[in-house]
């Protein structure tokens, strides 16, 4: 990169470029990339992770929205032939295109915090092509992702992710590791797509029930789910209607959603 003309971070893209060598080394240890991995980096920026990932594997797909970053990235990587750049919005990319026969993807990224949740769900819709994901996110978001029932951070995001993947909060990263320094702490999170041990018969219905339950956190489940499930149905699912959504595990929501699905699918008694 030309030291005399550094690339300026763009607020509209939520750019904060990682530069701390110790943090970079720690992230690499967490990812533990292997030569035969199919790696995809989202938002490579100026190449702080791109360069060492290429050194370890010799090939890497990157998805970058900012076309002005790409010349800097090419220079930082020495125009490495193994670097495949897709200039696109990460929210619109079909990541399955990068998968190889018999090999699923490993994703890495310092995600823009303002669109982190939509990107996570966009990727999890393609979970059949993904082995794992290591992302830098706002610490508060990672705490929500990993929260336990009853805790202050537990909510819709926690439950929705629990139904789709295993989530692990690996370590925190302070603002000083970035240029410009963000106003919040960050954290590295690992997500491994998996099918939960409990059945979910209709994932879209499950998501609707969870969204409704957490839409008014202070209300009891019976009140929050009005129009979705009445108190008798909640009770029939083995759940106390007078408790709040934050007390329920994802498997409880699955049980209720499955009951609603079964009733909606049953032949009409009048038929």
- Cβ-count burial 158-178 (b if 16+ within 10 Å, e if not): bbbbbbbbebbbeeebeeebb
Residue-wise pLDDT for 92-140, tens only, equals 999 999 999 999 999 999 888 788 899 999 999 999 999 999 999 999 9
Residue whose entry in the numeric block shows the structure tokens 């929500």: 144
Q: Give strand ranges (E) for the chain.
A: 17-18, 38-42, 60-64, 83-87, 105-110, 130-138, 165-173, 178-179, 186-193
Which option is the CATH number for 203-264: 1.20.1250.20, 1.10.8.100, 1.10.10.60, 2.140.10.10? Answer: 1.10.8.100
Least confident piece of the model among 8-12, 185-189, 236-240 = 8-12
- Is 100 strand, coil or helix? strand
Tell me the pLDDT tens digit for each residue of 187-206: 999 999 999 999 999 999 99
Common-topology check for domains 11-193 and 203-264: no
Chosen CATH of 11-193 out of 3.30.300.30, 3.40.50.150, 1.10.3720.10, 3.30.360.10: 3.40.50.150
Question: Model pTM?
Answer: 0.89
Domain assignments of the chain as residue spans, ordered by start:
11-193, 203-264
């Amino acid at each position: 990169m030309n030291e005399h003309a550094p690339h300026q971070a763009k607020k509209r893209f939520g750019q904060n470029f990682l530069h701390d060598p110790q943090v970079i080394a720690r992230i690499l240890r967490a990812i533990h990339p292997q030569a035969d991995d199919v790696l995809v980096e989202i938002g490579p920026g100026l190449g702080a992770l791109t360069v060492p990932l290429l050194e370890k594997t010799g090939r890497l797909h990157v998805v970058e929205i900012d076309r002005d970053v790409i010349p800097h990235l090419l220079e930082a990587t020495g125009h490495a032939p193994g670097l495949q750049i897709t200039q696109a919005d990460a929210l619109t990319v079909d990541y399955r295109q990068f998968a190889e026969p018999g090999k699923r993807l490993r994703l890495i990224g310092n995600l823009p915090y303002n669109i982190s949740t939509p990107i996570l769900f966009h990727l999890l819709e393609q979970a059949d092509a993904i082995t794992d994901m290591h992302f830098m996110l706002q610490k508060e978001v990672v705490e929500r992702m990993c929260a336990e029932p009853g805790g202050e951070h537990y909510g819709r995001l926690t439950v929705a992710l629990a139904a789709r993947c295993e989530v692990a909060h690996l370590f925190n990263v302070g603002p000083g590791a970035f240029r410009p320094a963000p106003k919040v702490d960050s954290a590295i999170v690992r997500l491994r797509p998996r099918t939960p041990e409990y059945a979910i018969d209709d994932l879209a219905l499950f998501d609707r029930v969870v969204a409704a339950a957490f839409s008014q956190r202070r209300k009891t489940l019976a009140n929050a789910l009005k129009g979705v499930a009445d108190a008798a149905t909640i009770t029939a699912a083995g759940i106390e209607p007078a408790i709040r959504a934050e007390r329920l595990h994802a498997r409880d929501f699955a049980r209720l959603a499955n009951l609603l699905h079964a009733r909606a699918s049953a032949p009409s008694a009048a038929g």
